[in-house]
Copies of this chain bind each other. A is one copy, B any other.
Amino acid sequence: MNVVKKRRLGRGVSMVGAGMSRFGAFADLSSRDLFVEAYDDMTTLMDKGFDTSDIETMYVGNFSSDLFEGQAHVAPIMSDWLGLTPKPATRIENACASGGSALREGMMAIASGMYDVVLVGGVEKMSNLATERVTDTLAMAADALYEIPAGLTFPGIFATIATAYIHQYEASTDHLAKVAIKNHANGALNPKAQFNKPLRDIMDRRIARAKERGEPVPEWEDELDFLHDDRANPLVAWPLRLYDCAPITDGAACVLLVADELASSFTEAPIKVIGIGQASGRPLHDSESLTSLSSAKAAAEEAYLMAGVGPGDIQVAEVHDCFTPAEIVATEDLGFFEPGEGARALDEGRTTIQGDKPVNTSGGLKAKGHPVGASGVGMAVEIFHQLRQEAGERQVPNDSLELGLSHNVGGTGGTCVVTIYQRG
């Protein structure tokens, strides 16, 4: 079925504001608190006059507040807490791609001519549940009939993908570790990241503590040593270890979308959303490949066609690194690197902030954190700041940054949304 085609929005859409809450584990905050925190962050950063009453409708990406907080129907609750009632509010759920899909709905709401100003947010409050129950809840994003009863949970699923990748391309667990090292280094530069320490600091602290206590001092020469040590970094599902997995995170993010022609009344530096592609994929047990997500390739192809750019043009990207192998596969599905070359690109440092293809400058889901329904919107927030040269210490050192991309996956590619952004 030839389905990928060049699509066009009837009106151009610009992002004129972006904010996020701190990402982390906050026992005393609910989804509503986090959503308001993200919204306040956005409005505080808005360049020009903005009033909440400017917003005409809103979307909330959320995976399962039902199971995490006993609260379904979250969209009107968020609308109430922002003072937006009776503006229409709609929850979008596509597992960990809920935020990306919410962004797509927001764009179409504007392009449809129905609305000019749309708030797109995402939120998840996950730390209420014990870790095992979070893992069970997340597993519902896979196939409950054919996969969950077979014992598949997401660490197992991405361990399978990692194993296949390592086998097929003669890669190694070093490559997985290098994703973690890079993204923790980036997260260390992001004040809102859940882990804002480089792995070296964590390693050094453990060495110092062993010395203090008079225990045997671990002989780690570098972070790779540290990450390969069973006690420092326990196995979760071979070959994935603790630091290969994104954490359990509470957090929210939001962006303000407006029709292009209105952008200048909100900011001098709008970011245009020039391409978006979403695709669905069959569950993993029916996938053709374990080292590529068909939905990511289809979504990317549509986004590139719509934007009229190619992978070589993208200067900064946030990709869905829920587990370290996912980032490697993403950079290949997006066409940044040939199949099998994603691992080499890590060896060469090409995806660091200083590299030629910076990936996950925010720290990614891995270090910034992964409040699942918010993650896709959080990616847009990072690209917004990068393209506006306001990403602080983690700013990509390129004065003429113009094109960014986000890649947001739900499940094992049941959904993928790829979005392309351009400095206005």
List chain A positions with a Cβ less than 8 A from chain B: 1, 3, 7-11, 30, 32, 53, 56-57, 63-64, 66-67, 69-73, 75-77, 79-80, 84-95, 101, 104-105, 107-115, 137, 140-145, 148, 278-283, 286, 294-295, 298-299, 410-411, 414-415
CB within 8 Å for A415 and B89 given contacts A79-B280, A107-B112, A112-B108 = yes
Question: What CA separation (Å) do A88 and B296 show in the bound complex?
Answer: 11
Q: Is the CB of B75 within 8 A of A280?
A: yes
Q: Is the CB of B71 within 8 A of A115?
A: no
Q: Is the CB of B283 within 8 A of A77?
A: yes
Q: Is the CB of A281 within 8 A of B85?
A: yes
Q: Chain B residues with Cβ under 8 A from A76's Cβ? A: 94, 280-283, 295, 410-411, 414-415
Q: Chain B residues with Cβ under 8 A from A90's Cβ? A: 92, 94, 101, 104-105, 278, 415
Q: Chain B residues with Cβ under 8 A from A109's Cβ? A: 108, 112
Q: Is the CB of A280 within 8 A of B89?
A: yes
Q: Is the CB of A410 within 8 A of B73?
A: yes
Question: What CA separation (Å) do A325 and B87 show in the bound complex?
Answer: 25
Q: Chain B residues with Cβ under 8 A from A137's Cβ? A: 66, 72
CB within 8 Å for A75 and B144 given contacts A7-B114, A111-B114, A280-B86 = no
Residue of B nearest to A75 (CB): B94
Q: Chain B residues with Cβ under 8 A from A70's Cβ? A: 140, 144, 148
Q: Chain B residues with Cβ under 8 A from A1's Cβ? A: 53
Contacts A71-B145, A76-B283, A80-B280 given; 17 further ones with Cβ under 8 A?
A1-B53, A10-B113, A57-B278, A66-B137, A70-B148, A73-B95, A73-B411, A73-B414, A73-B415, A76-B282, A76-B414, A86-B294, A86-B298, A88-B104, A88-B279, A92-B93, A111-B111
Q: Is the CB of A112 within 8 A of B9?
A: yes
CB within 8 Å for A145 and B30 given contacts A90-B105, A281-B85 = yes
Q: Is the CB of B94 within 8 A of A91?
A: yes
Q: Chain B residues with Cβ under 8 A from A87's Cβ? A: 3, 279-280
Q: Is the CB of A88 within 8 A of B283?
A: no
Question: What CA separation (Å) do A278 and B115 show in the bound complex?
Answer: 12
Q: Chain B residues with Cβ under 8 A from A77's Cβ? A: 143, 283, 414
Question: Taking each of A86, A137, A144, which has the highest tally of chain B beta carbons within 10 Å of its own beta carbon?
Answer: A86
Taking the nearest CB of chain B, how far is it from the CB of A94, in angstroms? Answer: 6
Taking the nearest CB of chain B, how far is it from the CB of A11, in angstroms? Answer: 7
Taking the nearest CB of chain B, how far is it from the CB of A85, in angstroms? Answer: 5
Taking the nearest CB of chain B, how far is it from the CB of A375, in angstroms? Answer: 14
Question: What CA separation (Å) do A289 and B294 show in the bound complex?
Answer: 51
CB within 8 Å for A10 and B94 given contacts A80-B280, A411-B73 = no
Residue of B nearest to A114 (CB): B7
Question: What CA separation (Å) do A110 and B73 show in the bound complex?
Answer: 25
Among B53, B144, B410, the residue within 8 A (CB) of A69 is: B144
Residue of B nearest to A84 (CB): B280
Question: What CA separation (Å) do A114 and B105 show in the bound complex?
Answer: 11
Question: What CA separation (Å) do A403 and B79 show in the bound complex?
Answer: 32
